[in-house]
Structure 1
Amino acid sequence: MPSARTYDKTPARIVLRWHLQHGLSAIPKSVRASRIKENFDVFGFSLFPAEVAAIDALDTGARGGPDPQLVDTAMFPVTVEN
């Protein structure tokens, strides 16, 4: 399993790098300028294939939230005021 310390990166940057190596789009969210800058620091290193595979193996197939196909306004009845 890759260690963020091995790369001197945050765990979040390791996950962002994993997304990029799979050709996936990642849209990290932060309001802190320092964190936004950190999130761009994912291009100067690559994970080894075994490390990518170790992260891939973490997927158990269990959903962590509601099925996107079933989400509707009845499930989340929130009104946003203008």
Structure 2
Amino acid sequence: EIADKHHKSIAQVILRWDLQNGVVTIPKSTKEHRIVENASVFDFELTKEEMDLIDGLDQNHRVGPDPDNFDF
């Protein structure tokens, strides 16, 4: 719904959410159209309500290792 409103992809909304939260994200793709899409996140901004809605999706569940407790 948020992506449609801004005429963006879901990935672009996630990248924008990261930017607005000060999260450093390095998107990766080998497909040229996705690389261009990943860079096209500076021409819109999420509202506070949209940010809050996305924040509300957090289930405090990890799918990978915890970077704060990584056993090297």
Identity value in percent: 44
Say if 1:55 and 1:37 are closer, same or farther in 2 by CA, change over 3 A.
Answer: same
Flag the structure with larger Rg.
1
Q: TM-score, normalised to structure 1's length?
A: 0.77
Aligned equivalent of 1:21 = 20
Cα offset, 1:34, TM superposition? 1.0
Number of aligned positions between the proteins? 71
List alignment gaps of at least 5 residues for structure 2: none
- Do the aligned partners of 2:17 and 2:46 also contact (CA within 8 Å) in 1? yes
Query: RMSD between aligned alpha carbons?
Result: 1.4
Distance of 1:14 and 1:52 partners within structure 2? 10
Structure 1 unpaired stretches of 5+: 73-82
**Deviation by residue 1:13-67 (Cα, 9 ceiling, x = unmatched):** 0000000001111111100111101111100100000100111111111112344
